[in-house]
Chain A
Amino acid sequence: MNFSFNATPSNGPSPKVAVVLLDHRLTIRSIAPDPRTATLERASKHLGITPPAGLDVADVIHLRASLDDDGRDRLEHLLVDPLLQRATWDAPDGDGIEITLLPGVTDTAGAAVVTAARRLGIAVDSATVGKRLDMTEPAATRQVAEFVERVVANPVVERWVVGPATPPLDRPAEVRHRASVVPIRALDDAALATLSVERGLALDPAELEVIRAHFASEGRDPTDVELETLAQTWSEHCAHKTFRARITVTDPSGAPLDERSSLLGTLRSCTDDIAAPFVRSAFVGNAGVIGFAGATTYALKAETHNHPSAIEPFGGANTGVGGVIRDVLGMAHEPIAVTDILCFGPADTDPAGVPAGTLHPARIIEGVIDGVADYGNKIGLPTVAGAVWFDPAYTTNPLVFAGCIGRSDTWRPPEAPQPGDRVVVLGGRTGRDGVRGATFSSATMDATTGSVAGASVQIGDPITEKLLIDALVGAEHLYRAITDCGAGGLSSAVGEMAEGVGADVDLDRVPLKYPGLEPWEIWLSEAQERMVVAVPVDTVGELLTRCVASGVEYTDIGAFTGDGRLVVRAGGDVVVDLDTGFLHDGRPTRHMTAVLPEPDRTPRSRHVDDPAAVLLELLAHPNLRSRADVVHRYDHEIRGATIVRPLIGCARDAPADGVALVDPEERHGIAIGIGLNPLHGLHDPEWMAWAATDEAIRNVVAVGADPDRVALLDNFSFGDPRRPSTMGDLVAAVDGCTAAARAFGAPFVSGKDSLNNEYTGPDGRRHAVPPTLVITAVAHVDDVDHLLTPEPGGPDEVLVLIGRTRPEFAGSHLDVLYPEGVPAEGPGSAPGPDPDAPARYRRLHAAIRAGLVTGCHDLAEGGLAVAVAEMCVAGRLGARLDSLAHPDPMTGLFAESTGRLLVTVRAEHLTDLLVNLGDEATVIGRTTAEPVLDLAGIARVPLEDLVRAHTGDRR
């Protein structure tokens, strides 16, 4: 097809010279095998799918341009490296599958071609980038369809065809939609409920009634934009209705025990009571702020991006990272590190067992990890701490937690926007991506979610966000207030900033990626990489200049007004005119019922026939084995501050407990630890939460941080809280983690809950995730020289176990491997709180500061046996244990009691160390040059076997 640009109608005035634009395609193939081909073949194998014969991936660049031979040559010189690639302008012959983006989907690579071509003076009107998969022979249509849809393309953002693709170069028609009025005053309760479902509002009946009454009192009906604004602002995702709900707590028989004003109140009062001097801002704005030393502050935040990652793993995880980085930027801090905690179904899940509408875990794992790596690596932040956890319960509802830490040396608590300040949008353009994300993530999922929620997927562009960071870091004096455009898009960002003061904005000014958006779509779009700032009139010029220099788009969309009303205009009409008081405080408080769990807390041991075999199986379990295959895909070195890395030891394949960041020009810094044990949560949510908090703190202590300067983040991912037992689990978990926080004097400064992590199968059965609480600990490191890893200093050092061991096996990995070994009476107690742990950690810290400890490792999944084996793997040395510190050897080896650490010490420092640690320290053995782990005569395991089990290395 062709189409002329600047062409004038035949009966018009004298025509300008028309540039004839034609469609061209450049197919680029790698000379060496393209690594993407192997990736696709690997993914097919995971899923038991046969890929088409002779598969080979190529890139296809579709251009609409006026192009002569010279132009083609110059473009080819730009786009093709003759040492690496071969290219052709010819239409393909032979069989192939071609994939292109759907029209309207963000195409940064295509935009880059246009920009580059114009620099070369070549008239390219538009370009889009696709892929071609060559095949050596035609495959059956069904085989191709299965391969493409399950392995290659994602129908949410891409389309595919066998044979040459028609590129999505046609621009959507120039249509400006108008807002429509939704006559809700005339609707009865049933019709209101239907409206909520049809529009995906995810509002409760009580909330719908309040909205109807509000507009009845105003004597008018809302526009669709107003209704959507309320649905976003009042969504679970934005309003945390469950954490703010009044709760009636009952025992398992239903007898009322307690009335709670709110779970958020419980967390906040815990922080208030601890009154830690280093907390600068807690539970306000986008992130918590702490300051351990001098003027330096750190902003901390962890977020979930579960539902988007379930339907589009790469994009979901990618934008999860991008979003949490903006949260930190929205607290006027420079992002310095990223964390990620990922919960997946097992990679080897039988494809037949994966429910309809759900992606196979292998695809989710690959996509999510690539998505995290892509964003963090490209934006230039080290991805440091993390965890990867596998359990069948996450097959239909994976969990993706992304965290970010920021730093400032000039931070002041944020101000509110003042009347007259400009409302300025910075960064990316607005498209239809991610529309209704907040309400989508607040609902449970089923087989249709992938197609229905297609538009909820967001597309990340880390380079645009990098430029935003470049522009905003150091510009803190040029704006009065800042927030990121996250869930709910502009409706949430402008709506929150306008609270009390009011704002008047015009959607016609919002720069769009393509035309055709309805006003409510512009207002709600969750297009990424956008920040909203309130700019005093006198600094507008300076901020604009700075943005232009950094390559950041700057758009003034209106002003803060002072009248307390949120006014939004589109096409000359007022499409929103809401009282911000009603918007933010009009929502009726939820009242929920929680039935507390009744955990069995009886100590019960286990019997194991072959401890050596069990140890090797534990080391090889997906939750315990080396993370080298994941962690080496993340850049954890950039900025040069990562002193303790996530993988440690001789071969950088053994796990660190915490990680530590110390700026190269400073001696003090921070350590980061993660606590997570959802299996404990299945048995005892309260103790699970205590243990997760203890684990996060223990991890930072193990790396050498100060146990008296620890701040915490909470991230709850639970099922549907309207089920009283799930709500009861949640109440128990909040009680557990706040009790631990009080015991350790470690305040929560920020948190996020993600509820409704459930999937309803075609059979109508609901699959909820286990009660999952991720605790992130960030602690002060006083001196870089005190930092430790689990690698022993060398052979012939003494191994000292610190803490108390009890027969606590419920939720242990021993039970995961040997469910038949669980006693008939029940699994007994999950690992419980140890009230002496805080004092113990202080004594250990003093010993570390005194230089008495050479290596330190916390005891977690798999207990002492796994901890000592991991230290052997780290140092590639052996160990001989003489004692297991518990009369029952299996408890000594495999119990997962909290509050324990294993340290190595040089023989000449042993006495000093034991004096420091008191009677909770037990000498249990030595490290050895002989490459064998001897478990107190019960088992002898060669180092080589430990390494092979842990790393999967078959060499």
Chain B
Amino acid sequence: MSAVRALVITGPGTNRDPDMSLALRLAGAEPRTVRVDELVAGDSLLESAALAVVAGGFSHGDAHGAGRLLALELEVGLGHRLADFVDAGGMLLGVCNGFQVLTRAGLLPGALGHNDAGRFICDWVELDAVADSVCCWTAGLTATVHCPIAHGEGRYVHPDPAALAADGRVALRYAGANPNGSVDAIAGVSDATGRILGLMPHPENHVLPRQHPRRRHVDAERHLGLHIIANGVRHARR
């Protein structure tokens, strides 16, 4: 079985691309990191991959709102190619800044505002996968996922969260404390196909049990963020 070809898409200021590459490798994919300008210039670079991730960071320093300028580069540079990629069965993930980019680019619903505490927050959270979601990335996850958040603009905003949930597009909710004031405790959302997931937390930073802050007290293996990424890679293989 050949490895799943995966792209980790970066812009100036993207900084969690190495973490995501490692997670993809551990999930059995073959990741390659590409800058947006390379992706735009490379005629079939995107199309030759089965999975793509817009990685986290501070693209363009969050100037004028998180993800805005990188979303612009994707929209102007790629046009419909990203949507076509998903329509053709490609799996697409946006984590943190990548989630912000995908909402700005119109590929995912809603928007991400400043945390209600008004500050950047880095802490560990627990995530419940929503059972009736259409999302392929979270399908079948039963145990809560434990992983860190690290963001200043992660408060999910949507005008009609009930409709979003009814469509099965709410993929992940914060279990327990809602760290940033997201509506309906939404941590991750999917597109209608289920093949695009955007989430604020960083599953790529919990890919080994040793990374769990209480690894001596908790069965970390059950709660790995890697399970989400491995799910996506499995779907990409189909």
Name the CB-closest residue of A to B67: A81
Q: Mark B92-134, 1 if CB is under 8 A from A, else 0.
A: 0000000000001000001101111111111110000000000
* Contact across chains for A664 and B208 when beta carbons are under 8 A apart: yes
Q: Is B163 an interface residue (CB 8 A)?
A: no
Q: Is B214 an interface residue (CB 8 A)?
A: yes
* Contact across chains for B204 and A120 when beta carbons are under 8 A apart: no
Name the CB-closest residue of B to A662: B210
Chain A residues touching B, range:
35 or more
Chain B nearest CB, measured from A705 CB (Å):
16
Bound CA–CA A79/B64 (angstroms): 6
Interface residues in A99-140 (C-beta closer than 8 Å to B): 108-109, 112-113, 115-116, 119-120
* Contact across chains for B61 and A463 when beta carbons are under 8 A apart: yes
Given A83-B157, A84-B113, A638-B19, A643 contacting B61 (CB threshold 8 A): no
Complex interface: chain A residues within 8 A of B124 (CB): 652
* Contact across chains for A380 and B118 when beta carbons are under 8 A apart: no
Bound CA–CA A38/B119 (angstroms): 11
What total count of A-B pairs have CB within 8 Å?
A: 144
Q: Is B173 an interface residue (CB 8 A)?
A: no
Which segment of B10-18, B46-54, B185-193, B227-235 sits at the interface?
B10-18
Q: Is B80 an interface residue (CB 8 A)?
A: no
* Contact across chains for A637 and B63 when beta carbons are under 8 A apart: no
Of B64, B73, B118, B216, the residue contacting A113 (CB under 8 A) is: B64
Given A461-B61, A632-B123, A633-B120, A32 contacting B113 (CB threshold 8 A): yes
* Contact across chains for A645 and B213 when beta carbons are under 8 A apart: yes
Q: Mark A375-399, 1 if CB is under 8 A from B, else 0.
A: 0011110000000000000000000
* Contact across chains for A112 and B64 when beta carbons are under 8 A apart: yes
Q: Is B32 an interface residue (CB 8 A)?
A: no
Q: Is A462 an interface residue (CB 8 A)?
A: yes
Interface size on B, residues (CB 8 A): 53
Q: Is B164 an interface residue (CB 8 A)?
A: no
Of B73, B122, B159, the residue contacting A633 (CB under 8 A) is: B122
Q: Is B202 an interface residue (CB 8 A)?
A: yes
Name the CB-closest residue of A to B13: A463
Of B72, B118, B202, the residue contacting A116 (CB under 8 A) is: B72
Given A119-B76, A640-B211, A793-B216, A380 contacting B15 (CB threshold 8 A): yes
Of B12, B73, B122, the residue contacting A467 (CB under 8 A) is: B12
Of B12, B60, B111, B204, the residue contacting A640 (CB under 8 A) is: B204
* Contact across chains for B15 and A112 when beta carbons are under 8 A apart: no
Chain A nearest CB, measured from B67 CB (Å):
10
Complex interface: chain A residues within 8 A of B207 (CB): 640, 664
* Contact across chains for A112 and B121 when beta carbons are under 8 A apart: no
Interface residues in B130-158 (C-beta closer than 8 Å to A): 148, 150, 152, 155, 157-158
Name the CB-closest residue of A to B22: A664
Q: Is A635 an interface residue (CB 8 A)?
A: yes
Q: Is A599 an interface residue (CB 8 A)?
A: no
Bound CA–CA A113/B61 (angstroms): 12
Name the CB-closest residue of A to B150: A635
Q: Is A35 an interface residue (CB 8 A)?
A: yes
Q: Is B68 an interface residue (CB 8 A)?
A: yes
Specify which of A38, A84, A639, A662 lies most central, judged by the most chain B CB atoms within 10 Å of its CB: A84
Given A112-B63, A637-B150, A650 contacting B214 (CB threshold 8 A): yes
Q: Is B58 an interface residue (CB 8 A)?
A: yes
Chain B nearest CB, measured from A380 CB (Å):
3
Q: Is A791 an interface residue (CB 8 A)?
A: yes
Name the CB-closest residue of A to B212: A643
Complex interface: chain A residues within 8 A of B113 (CB): 30, 32, 83-84
Q: Mark B8-45, 1 if CB is under 8 A from A, else 0.
A: 00001101101100100000000000000000000000
Of A81, A378, A643, the residue contacting B13 (CB under 8 A) is: A378
Name the CB-closest residue of A to B10: A470
Complex interface: chain A residues within 8 A of B157 (CB): 32, 83-84
Interface residues in A72-114 (C-beta closer than 8 Å to B): 78-79, 81, 83-84, 108-109, 112-113
Bound CA–CA A119/B72 (angstroms): 9
Q: Is B65 an interface residue (CB 8 A)?
A: yes
Bound CA–CA A453/B17 (angstroms): 40
Given A633-B119, A637-B202, A109 contacting B64 (CB threshold 8 A): yes
Complex interface: chain B residues within 8 A of A81 (CB): 65, 68, 104, 111
Name the CB-closest residue of B to A636: B122
Q: Is B69 an interface residue (CB 8 A)?
A: yes
Bound CA–CA A116/B61 (angstroms): 13
Chain A nearest CB, measured from B207 CB (Å):
7
Q: Is A466 an interface residue (CB 8 A)?
A: yes
Complex interface: chain A residues within 8 A of B152 (CB): 377
Q: Is A930 an interface residue (CB 8 A)?
A: no
Complex interface: chain A residues within 8 A of B16 (CB): 380, 638
Complex interface: chain A residues within 8 A of B19 (CB): 638-640
Of A30, A79, A113, A377, the residue contacting B150 (CB under 8 A) is: A377
Q: Is B57 an interface residue (CB 8 A)?
A: yes
* Contact across chains for A643 and B64 when beta carbons are under 8 A apart: no
Name the CB-closest residue of B to A81: B111
Q: Is A596 an interface residue (CB 8 A)?
A: no
* Contact across chains for B60 and A112 when beta carbons are under 8 A apart: yes
* Contact across chains for B57 and A380 when beta carbons are under 8 A apart: yes
Chain B nearest CB, measured from A139 CB (Å):
23
Complex interface: chain A residues within 8 A of B60 (CB): 112, 463
Specify which of A61, A379, A635 lies most central, judged by the most chain B CB atoms within 10 Å of its CB: A635
Q: Is A373 an interface residue (CB 8 A)?
A: yes
Q: Is A261 an interface residue (CB 8 A)?
A: no
Given A83-B157, A461-B61, A652 contacting B18 (CB threshold 8 A): no
Chain A nearest CB, measured from B146 CB (Å):
12
Q: Is A34 an interface residue (CB 8 A)?
A: yes
Name the CB-closest residue of B to A649: B214
Specify which of A35, A461, A636 lies most central, judged by the most chain B CB atoms within 10 Å of its CB: A35
Complex interface: chain B residues within 8 A of A35 (CB): 114-119
Of A113, A119, A373, A638, the residue contacting B15 (CB under 8 A) is: A638
* Contact across chains for A108 and B76 when beta carbons are under 8 A apart: no
* Contact across chains for A83 and B111 when beta carbons are under 8 A apart: yes
Chain A nearest CB, measured from B33 CB (Å):
11
Bound CA–CA A38/B117 (angstroms): 9
Of A61, A462, A551, the residue contacting B61 (CB under 8 A) is: A462
Bound CA–CA A116/B207 (angstroms): 36
Given A38-B118, A39-B118, A463 contacting B76 (CB threshold 8 A): no
Q: Is A648 an interface residue (CB 8 A)?
A: yes
Complex interface: chain B residues within 8 A of A32 (CB): 113-114, 116, 155, 157
Bound CA–CA A550/B229 (angstroms): 28
Name the CB-closest residue of B to A380: B15
Specify which of A36, A377, A648 lies most central, judged by the most chain B CB atoms within 10 Å of its CB: A377
Bound CA–CA A135/B123 (angstroms): 35
Interface residues in B180-238 (C-beta closer than 8 Å to A): 202, 204-205, 207-208, 210-211, 213-214, 216-217
Bound CA–CA A36/B58 (angstroms): 19
Bound CA–CA A115/B114 (angstroms): 24
Given A30-B114, A373-B120, A635-B150, A648 contacting B12 (CB threshold 8 A): no
Of A34, A113, A461, A664, the residue contacting B114 (CB under 8 A) is: A34
Bound CA–CA A65/B229 (angstroms): 45
Q: Is A718 an interface residue (CB 8 A)?
A: no
Interface residues in B70-103 (C-beta closer than 8 Å to A): 72-73, 76
Interface residues in A358-383 (C-beta closer than 8 Å to B): 373, 377-380
Of B118, B121, B211, the residue contacting A36 (CB under 8 A) is: B118
* Contact across chains for B61 and A112 when beta carbons are under 8 A apart: yes
* Contact across chains for A112 and B210 when beta carbons are under 8 A apart: no
Given A30-B113, A112-B69, A463-B58, A643 contacting B211 (CB threshold 8 A): yes
In the complex, given contacts A664-B22, A791-B216, what are 5 additional A-B residue pairs having Cβ atoms less than 8 angstroms apart? A35-B115, A116-B72, A378-B62, A639-B19, A662-B210
15 residue pairs A–B, Cβ–Cβ below 8 Å: A81-B68, A83-B113, A116-B68, A378-B13, A380-B57, A461-B61, A463-B12, A466-B15, A632-B122, A633-B119, A633-B120, A635-B120, A664-B207, A664-B211, A785-B210
Closest 3 CB pairs of A and B: A380-B15, A35-B118, A112-B63
